[in-house]
Structure 1
């Protein structure tokens, strides 16, 4: 079956409009920029079980390590303690729960629902998406099944077998 090009619904500006988006926390990982700046990159997946635009799209947010972390910041590997706690609170993690390290905390965040307020900002002459607020969801999951992509590139991982002919 073939297809015909149809550009009528193509969005020339690939950024999402300012507003609120119901999401789940899909992935959190620490990355270092080319300039040596370290941050926690958070991928929010726009929920497909809530009636909204851009379902299964992503919103990205980074928490940056502090240049001069406080004692509280050091408990969360030098990230802003208040920012990390706001993320936990918005995702519904229980108050007072003990964590041995930031990795345990991050693992608890995965697949938790949150509401993202998206804004725009100008950077180097370009308009970019910016997460303004992270709040509690208005639509608790209640056992709903959020369809997660198989991987970031849309391809399913294939098992590696030792007896492949190539």
Structure 2
């Protein structure tokens, strides 16, 4: 029996290599990372600048949302290596998270099925200002996210909506087009 010349892993590696060359030729980069650096490219630069949250303005009745958004933002910045996070003091950039809209509504699916459904609508905007003079460096625009959740805990639906909206706002921070 004749043995195959290439392995599956080898063929996949070749395909990924060809795809990255093709995509790179179009001006796009995989994962938003520059080939010359291990840090993400964003409006904050190469990731060596410092960033701290200036304020979170939220419109919900839930007092924990402000702290949850702060934690999510810190985690996203660190995960993506967009900047060096500082909790207090001077920073190169200041981040303001504004929530212009929010709605959560729970309902029973129908008269026969007693499944609890939660609709969550979250609108967020990120504004990055210079830590030196306070001028606006970047604004995400309003990011809207809507989803339906089949869950008993309304808080989980809210957390999932906040997480996805904030993730999408940080995605926009890394887009070059």
TM-score of the pair, normalised by structure 1: 0.23
* Structure richer in helix, relative to its length: 2
Structure showing greater relative contact order (alpha-carbon pairs closer than 8 Å, 6 or more residues apart): 1
Which entry has the higher C-alpha Rg, 1 or 2? Answer: 2
TM-score of the pair, normalised by structure 2: 0.22
